[in-house]
Amino acid sequence: HAAVCGGSVRLLESYRGRDKVIRTICYGSQLVGGALSRGAELNSSSSQQFGKSLLLFSAQLSHCRTVLRLFDDLSMLAYSHSYGLGSGEEDAGVRWISVLSNVADQLYYPCEHIAWAADAELIRVKSDKWWLFSTVLWGTSLMLGILRSLRVLLLLKKKLRKSKRDGQYSSRSQLHRQMQLEILSIFSGMADLSNAIHWMPPGFLWAGRFPSWLVGLLGTISSLIGLIQMNVTNGGS
């Protein structure tokens, strides 16, 4: 119990860890809230009211994350600058996909900031187009992330075959672990991309067709994967 409590405290003390926890609770609340409030014939009035409260709570947490992202530009810029054109990458495909992904991420933040400021009536512009720009950039970043993981997975498979031929059994477990993380990244990216398309203007693929519980389910899946990846990266079991 002490170890779990200590791990939770360390997670919440870091900005990225806290954001992932808030994100998980946000989408989890939307999942349960959407399921409870979806049908009068299925749930009692008290269950529906609780479901609506959870959806409102989820919306507040989402707004909280949007406000906190106002301070992410510099850290993203520092990361993009340190990565540069990816001269440290072995593969040209991974390098250029990562560069384009960094550009999309960097442009995402100011678009979202303008949309937020417009909704908060801090500036006199319509927020709709800026929310659309930010959603398109987020979706672009997710697609590039999926492509990057697929490319990395292909390269890891080649390395695994080579290690088998050369009899290098010590590196195989590490390669398998890296492959598992990339597969998780693909599932996470696909779940988030499904939601990004849902938030596009009506008429584009399945835009606007997801019920709240499904948005919550997909977001919860990607959030839990993010927590697992953070735990593995930080040396957890």
DSSP states of 89-102? -S-HHHHHHHHHHH
Answer for the pair 34, 216: CB distance below 8 angstroms, yes or no. yes
3-state secondary structure of 199: coil
Token pair 């390669």: residue: 175
Q: Please state, in angstroms and rounded to a whole number, the distance separating the CA atoms of residues 47 and 40.
A: 9
- Tokens encoding 205: 């693929």
HSE-up (13 A, CA, CB side) for residue 4: 1
- What is the structure's pLDDT at 195? 98
For residue 153, count CB atoms less than 10 angstroms from its CB and return exposed for 0-12, middle for 13-18, buried for 19 or more.
middle
Q: Give CA angle at 181 (175, 15), nearest 5°.
A: 130
Per-residue pLDDT of 45-56, as tens digits, reads 888 899 999 999
Give domain limits for the chain. 72-170
Answer for the pair 106, 77: CB distance below 8 angstroms, yes or no. yes
- What is the structure's pLDDT at 3? 60
Q: Give CA angle at 127 (217, 38), nearest 5°.
A: 30
Task: Please give the chain's pLDDT, 237 residues, in tens.
Answer: 666 676 778 888 888 999 999 999 999 999 999 999 886 556 678 888 999 999 999 999 999 999 999 999 999 999 999 999 988 888 999 999 999 999 999 999 999 999 999 999 999 999 999 999 999 999 999 999 999 999 999 999 999 988 877 776 667 888 999 999 999 999 999 999 999 999 999 999 999 999 999 999 999 999 999 999 988 877 654
Answer for the pair 188, 162: CB distance below 8 angstroms, yes or no. no
